[in-house]
């Protein structure tokens, strides 16, 4: 390691190459999180380094209790190929603004929903699209992991949305269920309440599972 750092310190071209390699591997170059921001490369590098840290400490997809086809995770889990395979994940919903989507595009089917959910009609449509994607995976016998950067907000909002639409749960009930295995879950209550008012009247109960 010392030899590598000495080499990188001595040769700027090598340092630049390594930086580009790291940020391209972990971050989305088109993300709104740093586009147009002064020092974009360094901002992306900060995200990439944090993703590498999460890869070490939060790398397992977490199953939702009683739902063996529903998982939630952080960006660390989304980059841990072995853990995804071990859990039997077949589909991944990427709700992280900064993370690279389609990391293992030859092995998993992805739905990339950049920028997450906000309290507007466009976000509600996006949320319902994600909910229907999850239901499609369930009906076809797959397993889906919903992830954002920390696996706490947008990712859990999507899963609570599915629980509301297809299991008739309320926001609080769905959140409590997810927190049983992902205690730090903090879905966006205001978004889910608005989603319920707009979409729940058209919800159909799922097939038995």
- Give me the pLDDT at residue 83, please: 96
Structure confidence at residue 208 (pLDDT): 45
Percentage above 70 pLDDT, the chain: 70
What is the band of 12 on the pLDDT scale with cuts at 50, 70, 90? low
DSSP code of 105? T
Q: What's the confidence (pLDDT) of residue 27?
A: 65
pLDDT at 190 over 90: yes
Mean pLDDT of 33-45: 60
CA distance 94 to 72: 10
CA–CA distance, 102 with 17 (Å, rounded to integer): 22
Q: What tens digit of pLDDT does each residue of 147-182 get?
A: 998 999 999 999 999 999 999 999 999 999 999 999
The confidence band for 20, taking pLDDT boundaries of 50, 70 and 90, is low
Region 135-155 average pLDDT: 96
* pLDDT interval class at 204 (50, 70, 90): very low
pLDDT digits (tens, 9 = 90+) for 58-91: 889 999 999 999 999 998 899 899 999 999 999 9
pLDDT, residue 206, reads 47
Average pLDDT, the chain: 82
Cβ-defined contacts of 106-115 (< 8 Å, 24+): 107/81, 108/84, 113/154, 114/28, 114/31, 114/32, 115/32
């Amino acid at each position: 390691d010392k030899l590598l750092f000495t080499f990188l310190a001595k040769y700027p071209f090598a340092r630049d190459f390594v930086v580009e390699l790291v940020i391209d591997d972990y971050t989305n170059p088109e993300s709104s999180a740093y586009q147009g921001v002064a020092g974009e490369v360094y901002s992306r590098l900060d995200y990439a380094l944090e993703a590498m840290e999460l890869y070490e400490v939060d790398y397992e997809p977490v199953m939702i209790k009683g739902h063996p086809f529903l998982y939630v995770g952080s960006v660390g889990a989304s980059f841990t190929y072995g853990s995804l395979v071990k859990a039997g994940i077949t589909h991944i919903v990427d709700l992280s603004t900064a993370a690279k989507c389609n990391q293992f595009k030859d092995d998993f089917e992805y739905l990339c929903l950049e920028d997450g959910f906000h309290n507007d009609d466009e976000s509600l449509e996006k949320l319902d699209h994600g909910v229907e994607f999850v239901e499609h995976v369930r009906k076809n016998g797959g397993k889906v992991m919903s992830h954002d950067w920390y696996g706490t907000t947008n990712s859990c909002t999507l899963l609570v949305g599915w629980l509301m639409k297809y299991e008739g749960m309320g926001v609080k009930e769905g959140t409590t269920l997810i927190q049983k295995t992902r205690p730090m879950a903090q879905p966006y209550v205001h978004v889910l309440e608005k989603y319920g008012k707009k979409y729940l009247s058209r919800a159909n109960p799922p097939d038995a599972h």
